[in-house]
């Protein structure tokens, strides 16, 4: 069992860092990384058997948000459209994953989360560099108006 915990710890760290890196670039891969992290995290917490939802200070706000989102999907203007997207509420579990994976008391709080912030900034910088090349190429090369790119 100890080996599986080490495997899930490493996998969660990788998946959350990949999520943070890909989030500014595109929602498609970042959502895949988030759902994969959710699956590994559930495996991790059920194999440990000592996780409690109430331990997190975000439990009640996330629960209220999920309830209101579910309620509005049934009672909203277009229930058939909004109910199809209810599965995305599972991504609110990122709020519980990040402190567990990037927690611990051996380093200061800012140091523990700096890898996550660095990966997000690296992804945003890469997207910015791509747009620095893409926008002028489309404006001057294809003749598109600047604000339609």
Which range of 17-21, 57-61, 65-69, 142-146 scores highest in mean pLDDT? It is 17-21
Q: Name the token pair of 104.
A: 């611990």
Q: 3-class DSSP state for residue 127? A: helix
86 within 8 A of 70, measured Cβ to Cβ:
yes
Question: What's the confidence (pLDDT) of residue 53?
Answer: 60
How far CA 2 is from CA of 6, 9, 38, 44, 97, in Å, comes to 6, 11, 20, 11, 19
Question: What's the confidence (pLDDT) of residue 1?
Answer: 42
pLDDT in tens, 22-80: 999 999 999 999 999 999 998 888 887 766 665 677 888 888 998 888 888 888 777 77
CA-atom Rg of the chain in angstroms: 19
Q: Which of 92-119 are b and which e, b meaning 16 or more Cβ less than 10 Å from the residue's Cβ?
A: bbeebbbbbbbeeeeeeeeebbeebeeb
Q: How many CB atoms lie within 10 A of CB 29?
A: 14
CA–CA dist 68, 65 (Å, integer) = 5
CA–CA dist 31, 42 (Å, integer) = 16
> What's the pLDDT band for 144 if we cut at 50, 70, 90?
confident
Lowest mean pLDDT among 7-11, 12-16, 51-55: 51-55
Question: What's the confidence (pLDDT) of residue 39?
Answer: 93
- Say what the pTM is: 0.77
**Residue with the larger pLDDT of the pair 74 and 12:** 12
If you average pLDDT over residues 107-115, what whole number do you get? Answer: 71
């Amino acid at each position: 069992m100890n080996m599986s915990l080490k495997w899930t710890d490493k996998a969660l760290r990788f998946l959350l860092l990949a999520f943070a890196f890909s989030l500014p670039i595109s929602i498609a891969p970042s959502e895949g990384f988030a759902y994969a992290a959710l699956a590994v995290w559930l495996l991790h917490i059920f194999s440990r058997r000592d996780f409690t939802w109430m331990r997190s200070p975000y439990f009640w706000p996330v629960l209220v948000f999920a309830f209101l989102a579910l309620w509005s999907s049934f009672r909203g203007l277009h229930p058939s459209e909004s109910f199809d997207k209810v599965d995305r509420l599972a991504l609110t579990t990122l709020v519980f994953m990040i402190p567990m994976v990037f927690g611990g008391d051996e380093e200061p709080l800012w140091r523990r989360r700096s890898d996550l912030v660095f990966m997000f900034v690296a992804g945003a910088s890469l997207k910015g560099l791509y747009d620095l090349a893409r926008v002028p190429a489309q404006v001057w090369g294809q003749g598109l108006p600047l604000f339609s790119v």
